[in-house]
Structures are given as C-alpha cells and as structure tokens.
Chains A and B, each alone.
Chain A
Amino acid sequence: MPRLSYRRALTRALADELARDEAVFLLGEDVQVGASLVTTGLAKRFGTERVRDTPLSEQAFTSFATGAALAGLRPVVEFQIPSLLFLVFEQIVNHAHKFPLMTGGQCSVPVTYLVPGSGSRTGWAGQHSDHPYSLFAHVGVVTVVPATPADAYGLLVTAIRHDDPVVVFAPAGAMDLRDDVDDLTPVPLGRGRIHRFGDDVTVVAIGHLVHDALAVAEELADQVSVEVFDPRTLYPFDIDGLTESVTRTGRIVVLDDANRSCGMAAEIIASVVERVRLLAPPRRVTRPDGAVLPFAPALDRAVQPGRDQLATAIHLTMKDTS
C-alpha cells in the first residue's frame, strides 16, 4: 500500500488539478521553489506562468486572484502563515465572497486560499500560530480543515473545483502525518467522517486534533466508549451527520484548537443542542479566550487544548449524566 504524507497529498492535489484544468494557477510567496514544501516541483512542471511567485503584497495578490477568477480562471493562493489571513480578510470577505450576491448572480469567484502550516508551529510564537477558521465560517466562506492525507488530497481537489471561494487550513500539526492511501478521490464538502465508532460520547475534533481524540479514545477504551467525529469542513457543517451521532451517544465534547469565545466549538454545540436532547451538559476543550500563543514551548503547549483536558472533559460529561 502506498504511504503518503499530508504535505505530499496537498502537492499531489495541486499537481493533479493543474494538469487537469488549464484555468487553475497557483499564486503566492516563494511558491516557485516551494518554501512551504507544498508546491515543490510544480513550477518546473507547469511553468512560472501557472506557478507564480508574488511580491509581498498579500492584499493586492488576493484581490488579483478575485479579478482573475471573475475573468474565468481558478486561482489557488498560498499563504505562508495563517495570520496573513487577517491582512486579507477584507479582500476575501468583502470582495470575493460578496461578489456573486452583490451582482445578482452575474459572476462566480472560484478562488482557493491554502494555508499550509496553520496553528502552532512550535516556537513560532504570537504572530505565526493562529487558527482563524471560525472567522471564515462566521462570514459564510467555505472553510475546510482536513485531518488526514487522503482528506487533504480530496478536500483540496474539491476546493479547487468549487465555484465559490474556499479557505483550506492545513494544520501544522498534521503536515507530517503519513497514511496508507489506496485511491485518492475528491471528498465532498459538508460531509463529516466518523473515525471511530462509540456508544457513550461523541467527540468532535477539528484538524490535527482528530488524532489526539483518537489517542484519548483508545486510552479510555476500557472505561468509556468514545465516538470520534471529524467534520472535515467547518462551513458548510455536517450538522445532520453530527446530529445522528449525538442522538446515538447522547453526549458531546468538542476539541477545537482555536480561541474559546465565538469559536467553532460554541457553534457546534449550539447547533447540536438545538436538535438533540442531551444526557449531560456539552463540554468544549479549546484555547483560552483571546489566547496569543506564547513563545516558550511549555507555554505554547499550555495554551493548546491537550489530551489530558480532553480526557477530563469526557470523564466530567459521563459523571454529569442526569
């Protein structure tokens, strides 16, 4: 069985789409040499017209992609660090996302924004360690956070073929994962994946945290039967799939590597309790409110949601059962 790393899965998806569709092109800082290690070899294969290095001008090249999309191309824009999305939030939200409605359906803006290395890259500190996916889900931009190499491939391919803007967050914590991948196929948006079935509690985990949730579930296997649900796309969200899972287990804990207030975890819990009568109050394990990742490794780890916290939350949920 072929083994593929998450990073290479992204490269494979880009290469396959560049080969499949002339309209696809890639834009970003140092993409020709592949500084992120995701675009390695693509400029040699497809030429610098289609794999274009940009000056450091995120706002302009993000809107440049919008214009190119309005003119019929399918740009993929790579960002070196997740906080650059704060710089181009305006260009994505106010322009790319709003154009179809504001023009009364005259256009589509099929741009993919790829963020390889989202979240903490240990030791990169405050301005390089954010995970701003809830912002995009909030405004209604399609938001994708794959957890495995096969999903990274399948979701990136789908994002590129999608007719609206899509942000793909590839968590730093997942980039080096390897997986047996037999057949690589597109993965639909808005469909979650149950990585492990269980009866007592549904743990929703986002991105690289799926693997932490699986490890905790394994650890607790003789005490609690944990189901691990990976939404894969945060917007649109597979609320039907999750409802079905929580209806069976009656309990939910969410594991989300982003700040607590107004985060995905809050949204997921609210959406579930609107539909399901739970056996115990829901719980969430997240970064603290307003967190800025501190530099020292021990502090960085302290702020990220951890396996111990998840185990505790699961135990508390079981204990709280009425």
Chain B
Amino acid sequence: MTDADPVRLYRTVRLIRRFEERAVELVHAGQIVGGIHPYLGQEGIAAGVCAALGADDVLAGTHRGHGHVLARGADPARMLAELCGRVTGLNAGRGGSMHAADLSIGVLGANAIVGASGAIITGAVWAHRRRGRDTVGVSFFGDGAVNEGMLLEAFNLAALWRVPVLFVCENNGYATTMPVAGAVAGSIAGRAAAFDLPAVQVDGQDPETVRVAAAAAVDRMRAGGGPELIEARTYRFDAHHTFEHAVRLDYRPPDEVTRGRARDPVRIQGERLSDTDRAAVDAEVEATLDAAVRFALASPEPDPADALTYLYASGLTARTGGG
C-alpha cells in the first residue's frame, strides 16, 4: 500500500510548498479574503503520512489544513478556487481555507476548532470498520491541541475501543504565540502513554522519516493494532496566520527562525533526487499551479441568493432574515 517512491514524495512537498506560496501571494493581492494559516515548513508531515495511506482511509486536519488535503490527492485547482471563494471550489465556496474538504477521497475536512478532529475521525473509522472495511484514519493536530479535553477524550475512546486512528501531532513549537514549554505540562508523548497509545517522536522535517514511521504505524494498525501517536517535530517558516504580516507580532527570536528555516523538508527530500528529476517535478508543479491560479481566478463567485444552499442535507429550508 505504502508509496515509497522518493520522486512522488518530493512532488507532494513541492506541490504543497508552492501552493502555499501562491496562496500567500493571493492573500496579499486581495484575492483570498480572510487570510490563511500557511503550512510552509511543515509539508513533510502531511506528505509523509499520506504516502502511507490507502485509498479507503480517512483523515481530518486543522485550520492549517491545506497540506493535508493536497497530500491526500485533492485537485489543487479546486482547492485554490475554494480559498478564493468560488463556486468551483471543493466546497462550492462555502468552506474556505479552514474547512476545505473532499469527502470523495476521505478528507473529512480541515477543522477550525483546535482538537476537534480526533473524535470525528475515531467515529468515522469505527463506522467504516463496522461495515467490514479495512479503513484506518489519521487525525492531524498541533501542539496546542494536546491541552484540549475533547482530544484527550478521543485518545481514550480510540484506545478503549481499539479504533485504528493515527494521531499525528505537528509540534511546531507554538500555539499561535504560546510556546510549548509554556503550555504543555508533562510531554506530548506522555499524554499518549496515559492511554496506552504507542507513541514515537520523529523529525517532521524529513518527509521520508515521517513516511517510514507512519507506514509502520499504519501496518500495525491494519494488522489489528489499536491507535498510535506520532509526534512530528517541525517548524513553521511563516506567520501563524497571514494577518501577522500586518500586525508584526514579536514572539520568535530571529536566530530561531533562521535555524528553523535551515531544515527545509523540500530541500531535504529534493536532495534525494537527481537534478533532472527534480527539475522535471518543479516544472510540472509550476505548470499545475499556474493552471490552478488561472482556474480559480476565472471561476465564478457564488450567487448571493444561494448563500444558505447546503445548510440542510435533508432539504429543509431556513426562513429568510429580512422583512
């Protein structure tokens, strides 16, 4: 099941990197309203974990969720259209950056409530298994989420009922501006130990290291093991959110940022490729994203009259607010 092809892994990190850079440009150009939480620097985690998944598996991400959705194989053009609020977007322009979802490939959505994805994925995997499928799930969350009760409750449920969920903590050192040391009593792996969840710490800047760890966990889970946790240590290269470009929050020492940026997952994986292979992937990714930007910007905006379409799956209609 596992996709160990180094070229493909590189393609994924490169795609996420350039997608994010293009998206930041579109934020500054006013085409993406509301800004984004860039995944820049953390690409190796989504890429490595998703390379270990099969077609039937499901995942849910976070407010910093573009990488997870792209790594799972969503169409970058429709994803970008979603960020631009267009009808052609993955969510028809109703979700935007923090809710991008593609149920057709098992992406139950980025989730903007910190710590929320764990219990949802546990229920989804349990349901698929009850129907005889071989599904495993992944819940991505940040270091800030390990203090949320709901996530810890999800650890308990998944472990108790042996639901194969891989809990992936992307420890980038900060929850917005709050450093891990100021927020987490004990340790992240210690949270897992309390529920008998096997936990490993990996270098999240090396996509291949992440892939190997995730593949091993997924194999164990598929063979009947219970949930596991991976703490991937990483660094976000950019702001918590693009609003930071305007407000210039001061919380990370410049030399820390320099050191953090030096360990670049795109470069680390790229060095495993020949120059020609790498150049070919770079060119292909560039062409894909040029097309994605053109598609997104050329796509129509939704009709305001349809603002609450999709509110109810049952077809119930809401009373209007005016008059």
Q: Are B123 and A67 interface neighbours, CB within 8 A?
A: yes
Interface segment, one of B20-28, B106-114, B207-215, B248-256? B106-114
Nearest CB in chain A: distance from B89 CB, A: 7
Chain B residues whose C-beta falls within 8 Å of the C-beta of A198 in the assembled complex = none
Q: Are A61 and B150 interface neighbours, CB within 8 A?
A: no
A57, A62, A95, A102: the one within 8 Å of B95 (CB):
A102
Q: Are B109 and A103 interface neighbours, CB within 8 A?
A: yes
Q: B276-315, CB under 8 A of A: which get 1 and which 0? A: 0000000000000000000000000000000011111111
Interface residues of B (CB under 8 A from A): 58, 89-95, 99, 101-104, 108-109, 111, 113, 116, 118-128, 130-131, 149-150, 153-154, 156-157, 160, 308-316, 318
Q: Are A55 and B160 interface neighbours, CB within 8 A?
A: yes
Nearest CB in chain B: distance from A141 CB, A: 10
CA–CA, A107 and B275, complex, Å: 43
| Interface CB pairs A-B, < 8 A, 27 | A55-B156, A64-B123, A64-B157, A66-B120, A66-B123, A67-B108, A67-B121, A67-B124, A69-B127, A70-B108, A71-B125, A73-B130, A90-B113, A94-B116, A95-B113, A101-B311, A102-B94, A102-B99, A102-B109, A103-B91, A103-B101, A104-B89, A104-B92, A104-B310, A108-B314, A140-B318, A164-B314
Chain B residues whose C-beta falls within 8 Å of the C-beta of A95 in the assembled complex = 111, 113, 116, 120
| CB closest chain-A residue, reference B126 | A68
CA–CA, A142 and B316, complex, Å: 10
Q: How many A-B residue pairs have CB under 8 A?
A: 149
Nearest CB in chain B: distance from A111 CB, A: 10
Q: Are B313 and A59 interface neighbours, CB within 8 A?
A: no
Q: Does A91 contact B (CB under 8 A)?
A: yes
Q: Does A163 contact B (CB under 8 A)?
A: yes
Given contacts A108-B314, A109-B313, A142-B316, contact A59 B95 (CB under 8 A): no
Given contacts A70-B108, A105-B310, contact A59 B149 (CB under 8 A): yes
Nearest CB in chain B: distance from A28 CB, A: 13
CA–CA, A106 and B310, complex, Å: 9
Q: Are A59 and B153 interface neighbours, CB within 8 A?
A: yes
Residue in A54, A55, A104, A189 with the greatest tally of chain B CB atoms within 10 Å: A104
Nearest CB in chain B: distance from A142 CB, A: 7
Q: Does A299 contact B (CB under 8 A)?
A: no
Q: Are A57 and B153 interface neighbours, CB within 8 A?
A: yes
Nearest CB in chain A: distance from B123 CB, A: 3
Interface residues of A (CB under 8 A from B): 49, 54-55, 57, 59-73, 75, 90-91, 94-95, 99-110, 140, 142, 162-164, 189, 236
| CB closest chain-A residue, reference B111 | A95
Residue in B91, B109, B153 with the greatest tally of chain A CB atoms within 10 Å: B153
Q: Are A70 and B103 interface neighbours, CB within 8 A?
A: yes
B102, B119, B311: the one within 8 Å of A63 (CB):
B119
A65, A68, A140, A163: the one within 8 Å of B314 (CB):
A163
Nearest CB in chain A: distance from B214 CB, A: 20
| CB closest chain-A residue, reference B113 | A94
- Extra 20 A-B pairs, beta carbons < 8 Å, given A105-B309, A105-B313: A59-B153, A60-B150, A60-B156, A63-B123, A65-B123, A67-B125, A68-B123, A70-B103, A70-B120, A71-B58, A71-B127, A72-B127, A91-B119, A100-B310, A102-B91, A105-B94, A106-B103, A107-B101, A110-B313, A163-B314
Chain B residues whose C-beta falls within 8 Å of the C-beta of A61 in the assembled complex = 119, 153, 157
Q: Are A63 and B116 interface neighbours, CB within 8 A?
A: yes
A73, A104, A106, A189: the one within 8 Å of B127 (CB):
A73
CA–CA, A321 and B231, complex, Å: 71
